[in-house]
Structure 1
């Protein structure tokens, strides 16, 4: 089973390979990062890591035992117990429930490590896979229709307070 890890500088080579190998696959459903992203990858990664150090974002990679990156799962614009979730999964890892399981795992980190109570997300209308993952993991449409790279999208929200935290133990029976 791949492991969800907080993004670190040593992930750089595997992360770049992941982005390059899946660029065309991603571009079919999300706005393309553009050539500049790949030409300036080291600088972009350094910016993300600096942003993460401030607590404004929490970036994660899904990594195999061999160190291959299979996905990115990011929490951005963290403020007042809320964050925006974004994710992308390698084409070869799709269709097996990996994204759904990883998003659910991320809920635990959100509540226990990052003190988040609400997640927001958005997906283009054409990105049925991401919209399915969001729905399966309890996100509900907000009615917002954001533009994502010029494409119409659907906004989602997921409250974490009650649904992600363990239930309280039952009260002891009185004798």
Structure 2
């Protein structure tokens, strides 16, 4: 269960590259780090940001109430470009933290990133393509209509899982 949390594009599971920013550099770089370790770390970081909602406004925080709603910056998915980190962000974030339907600039930026990930689904740069498409199909992650249409207009890739999920998204969302 430790390395089968996320949906891979093919047989190769999602992996973490050396130098994970949330782990100390003194932590031994061993191949035994599993997807569950990364997911737990990302979920813990997000929960700490949620808990900071009640701290003074100078701290970084994720706020959710009647008057304001924090969404995760699309740049996080570009900055943390390891496929297992991206998948962890998609799974650990609350759906409203990934709702870009009312923020055109952020929706465009994330749609552009998703198009690049799908186009690179046969390489490690696109390893989280299946997870992004599942989040889109289940509406855990929402974009503006125009950006959804642009993402789903991408040429169908040769990876069977990504092709299936892209076709599923087209049927569900268009």
On whether the aligned pair clears a TM of 0.5, the verdict is no
Bigger relative CO (Cα 8 Å, ≥ 6 apart): 2
Q: TM-score, normalised by structure 2?
A: 0.31
**Between Structure 1 and Structure 2, whose CA radius of gyration is higher?**
1
> Which protein has the bigger helix share?
2
Q: TM-score, normalised by structure 1?
A: 0.31
> Which protein has the bigger strand share?
1
